[in-house]
Chain A
Amino acid sequence: DVKVTQSSRYLVKRTGEKVFLECVQDMDHENMFWYRQDPGLGLRLIYFSYDVKMKEKGDIPEGYSVSREKKERFSLILESASTNQTSMYLCASSPSSWGEDGYTFGSGTRLTVV
């Protein structure tokens, strides 16, 4: 019954590496989102997408990019990982018809940059 899948639960990467975080949803949702979660800061929006090939910056896009080549897949890219990008990354999706359910979240990827 998995609906939003993030490919890795834990990742350790070196400073300067290019990092790809993958998210796939099987609910045919139009909207997809990437958040990072840090203690005391809650969840902050990095990027979102309302449709294939479409992307918009959230509140903290610096150092990140995204790709959405297919409706079901939304990738977050760290072009050159830095230690301040160590965090929990959460992917979410929602339908374009904004019902009561809100977002469906993936299980998260805990990224450590060393």
Chain B
Amino acid sequence: ELKVEQNPLFLSMQEGKNYTIYCNYSTTSDRLYWYRQDPGKSLESLFVLLSNGAVKQEGRLMASLDTKARLSTLHITAAVHDLSATYFCAVIRGAQKLVFGQGTRLTINP
């Protein structure tokens, strides 16, 4: 059974600091997604990582994938308040079914 675990589940940080969210998954998969969810809103796709060593960056967010370690990271550089949200990773299982992590609630304080 594919399991996806994120840590930390809650993260409170100061503006300007760097931090990393980790996503571990239990069985082989060749595709990993990161989503963002603002309070009361739906999920917005951030990144898709398709191969070992893949790295994608958008603004202050950078995601990477190590398929051998079954680990993806979402790195936040010089955090700003607008990045406060809940972040989910999700891994493909079978034919196009996504299995999600628990989510990491990120709060960035001025």
Contact = CB atoms under 8 A, between A and B. Distances in A.
Interface of A: 31, 33, 35, 40-45, 48, 50, 58, 90, 94, 96, 98, 100-103, 105-108
Given A43-B43, A48-B97, 10 more contacts: A31-B96, A40-B102, A43-B88, A45-B98, A50-B95, A58-B97, A98-B96, A101-B48, A105-B44, A106-B42
Majority secondary structure, B binding face: strand
A6 to B, nearest CB: 9
Assign chain B's interface to a size class.
Answer: 20 to 34
B59 to A, nearest CB: 19
Interface string B90-109: 10000111111111000000
Given A100-B48, A100-B50, A102-B33, A45 B97 contact: yes
Given A58-B97, A94-B96, A105-B42, A41 B48 contact: no
Interface of B: 4, 6, 9, 33, 41-45, 48, 50, 88, 90, 95-103
Nearest to B6: A42
Contacts of B103: 42
A90 B42 contact: yes
Contacts of A42: 4, 6, 88, 100-103
Nearest to B1: A59
Contact of B9 (A40, A45, A48): A40
B49 to A, nearest CB: 10
A107 B42 contact: yes
Nearest to A58: B97
